[in-house]
Each structure stands twice: as C-alpha cells, then as structure tokens.
Amino acid sequence: MTKKIGFLGEQVRTGRVKVPSVLIRLSADVRARVEKVKLLVLDVDGVLTDGRLYYHDDGTESKAFNVRDGHGIKLAQMAGIEVALISGRSSPCVEKRAADLGITEVVQGPKEKVPIFERLLAEKGLGPEQAAFVGDDLVDLPVMRRAGLAVAVADASEHLFEAAHYVTLARGGRGAVREVIELILATQGLWEKLVARYFED
C-alpha cells in the first residue's frame, strides 16, 4: 500500500519551476500507466467534493468544490488531457461546475458506470489503458478494474485500495483531483511548460 501513496511534500526544482516529487516516488509500473493517460474520468461525490450533501429548506441541495482542483482541470485541458465526469447522483450544481470548467462529458445518474466509461473510450477512439479513473466508493470498483490507471482518494472506502494503482495523499474534495492531475502532467513532461509563467520573477 505504501508504495502507492501520493507525493504531496517536498518538490524537485528544475530551473525555476518546481516539479512535484512524484517523479522520483512513482514505481516503474505506475509511471508507465500514467504516461499513457489521455482521458481523466472522475467520480463527483467524494472525489470532486468531500462527499457531504447540503440540503436546504426549499428542497434544493448544494455541494462544495475545491478551486485548486478546478485550476488543475483547466491545466489538464490545456495540456490536451480530456476530462469527463460520471456521477451516480444527479445535481444541477454539478452541471454548473462542469460548465464553468469547460467539461462537456458529464453523465449523471447511471445505475452502472462501466457502460458509460466504455462508451467514452469508444467515442474518443481510446483504449482502456489510455484512461484514468478516480473514485472513492464501492460503485467505482468495476470502472477502476478496467481503467489503465485506477486512483483512489485518500479517504476512499478501504475496499478500493487493493484495486488502485495510486492512492492520493489528499482527501476527496480537498485537492485529490489536483494531485492526480499534477501526477499526470509531471510524468508526461507537460508540467514545466504549463506552469513556468507562475515561477517567473
């Protein structure tokens, strides 16, 4: 289990840009899997959020999303990594968040996630080895077993850890998605170019 744990901590500096230390902490097998990723598929509740639902007196509900995850998604899109959402629940605020981030592949409320995952791959002409999936609970296990890179967030159900190739240090809704995206971008050699402007004097 320990060898799967994430990389939040000391960073490696190359020139002016700090590169996530995941580059020196990934196993060869996980690195090979990350290098192939072209599609990042995310569960929503417990991954993009902390899993809590806020019910209001008017019958509506709300969720909290992490802005750093959002920035990470924009960086992934800039790098040519497609991002899709598959959520077992349906909520207008998910559609709004997806629209804000420019995510066009959003499927909410399916009883089974695997058919959606496979449809996305077929439509984009990708193999399962080119997709990463991030989950947090039992309903995500079938997709994790098919994805080339299966990721469980730090506070996921313990039943996911055995199937995961990578377990984040960050919790769901607390930067886990950003961590995965930095992992992908850094491993694929895309990180430095994307963020260099932030490190300029």
Q: What is the pLDDT of residue 7?
A: 46
Q: Torsions phi, psi of 133, nearest 5?
A: -130, 135
What confidence tens digit (pLDDT) does each residue in 102-135 have? 999 999 999 999 999 999 999 999 999 999 999 9
Q: What is the pLDDT of residue 178?
A: 95
Task: Give the other-Cβ count within 10 Å of 137's Cβ.
Answer: 19
Pair 175, 71: CB distance under 8 Å: no
Q: What is the pLDDT of residue 58?
A: 84
Stated pTM of the model:
0.87
Structural domain count of the chain: 1
Host domain of residue 69: 2-199
- CATH number for the domain spanning 122: value is 3.40.50.1000
Across the chain, what does the average pLDDT equal? 88
Spell out the residues 6+ positions from residue 88 whose beta carbon is closer than 8 angstroms to its own: 43, 45, 108, 109, 110, 111, 113, 139
Q: What is the pLDDT of residue 3?
A: 40
Task: Give the other-Cβ count within 10 Å of 145's Cβ.
Answer: 12
Please identify every stretch of the chain with a pLDDT value under 70, giving residue numbers as ranges.
1-25, 201
